[in-house]
Amino acid sequence: MMETLHVALIGFGTVGKGVYESIGKQREQLEALLRKKVSIEAILIQNGEIKREVDDRVLVTTDVDELLNLPKLDVVFEAIIGVEPAHTYLSRFIEKGCHVITANKELLATSGNELRKLAEKHNVGLRYEAAVAASIPILSTLREGIRSNQIKEISGILNGTSNFILNECQVSGLSFEEALRLAQEKGYAEADPTNDVDGWDAFYKILILSDLVYGKQPEWESISRKGIREVTSFDIKKAEALGLRIKHIANLRLQKEEPVITVESVAVSEAHPFFNVTGVNNALSVAGNLAGNITLTGPGAGADPTASAMVEDLLSIDRNSTEPVYYSQIEKGNAVEEDFLLIGDDSEVRGLEVLPTSEKGAYYVTGKRSEVEALLEHSKASLYPLQGLTLNHSTSRLAVV
């Protein structure tokens, strides 16, 4: 007789319902891969007055203790928002000896290392592929695909809503407000879009990658986190006239043995792997010392992509529930000069060595970030890190990289 894997869900919103439906839809394939039956035993919900369309034999409850008191429970899927009560719930399930699969990026960015240590102590798996880029298997790629590499840098378009808004501004000529309203109408953005457009969503995700790759995070106060509210239609048009597109990118690298993170809008050339990433898609680029540059793209949000990642984690847990976290060490690095696109009038570039472009009021500049930002501190000019082009001020030439 085939063994049974007993499963519970915490949360039954878009993601939780997606997991429930995906398990039902893919049951035959899942059970063939697992060589076990999959039985959803219970679902924890917030509002008991709403009727849920689930099998009658499934326990639906607002009391977490009813899940904790189940006689048999192997795996818990967590699909709610925020640090609490998720942190308390997952800690209790881990202590009970249950494997945990979560998509909660804020929780993992805040308490990921603590939960990993607790899971290791109780010899259970903690999986969170869906927390970083939904259907893009970036965590399994880092854990299994390029494990022998030293990771030099990771950068990514990690928020589909911001990418959609910038793309609509660039392609359709919409203002930020118009593009945001369209994103809300299509269900890509919440009524309160703060997490998306102010960079918090991408911020949490790149912190999770920092923990995974380097085993630690920078101090949050040291991180440059900027959203897309300040990106103007004028800036987008200027960049487009120069063959550039503005993308919201989170970046992680090591400097003087410490992880350095930036979350900001960047001007990329056609040679950049993110140039043609449109709509609500996400993309990640990983630079390994052996594998070179690897780019992964795919849907970054939605019920099906997120559920897909969570169900894949179910297979991962069954394969090896005590797999250690992957860490990578890399040589020391120092602060380096960067290239930027500067958009502003002539008075705002005084004191900077700039390379004029074919567009009036648009310049290229090279320098250490802190020094360039200090010179522009009281300026209204827009400054975008420039990727995909290398500047040579001595010859006034650009080189595609």
10 Å Cβ neighbour count for 175? 12
Catalytic annotation on 368? no
**Angle 233-241/160-171 helices, nearest 10 degrees?**
70
Query: For tokens 């004029």, what's the residue?
Result: 356
CA distances to 139, 215, 293 from 327, in Å:
12, 6, 18
Sort strands 4-10 and 75-78 into parallel, antiparallel or unpaired: parallel
Query: CA–CA separation, 19 vs 13, rounded Å?
Result: 10
Query: CA–CA separation, 391 vs 155, rounded Å?
Result: 21
Query: For tokens 């969170």, what's the residue?
Result: 128
10 Å Cβ neighbour count for 127? 25
Residue 34, H or E segment: helix 27-34
Catalytic hit among 205, 216, 237, 332: 205
CA distances to 133, 144, 146 from 149, in Å:
21, 11, 6
DSSP secondary structure of 108-169: HHHHHHHHHHHHHHTT--EE-THHHHTTS-HHHIIIIISTTS-EEEEEEE--HHHHHHHHHH
Query: CA–CA separation, 59 vs 6, rounded Å?
Result: 12
Query: For tokens 């930036």, what's the residue?
Result: 262
Ramachandran angles phi, psi of 351, nearest 5°? 90, -10
Cα–chain center distance at 241? 29
Provide the residue count of the chain: 401
10 Å Cβ neighbour count for 341? 26
Cis bond upstream, residue 85 (ω within 30): yes
Query: CA–CA separation, 187 vs 318, rounded Å?
Result: 34
Cis bond upstream, residue 137 (ω within 30): no
Which residues are known catalytic residues?
A: 205
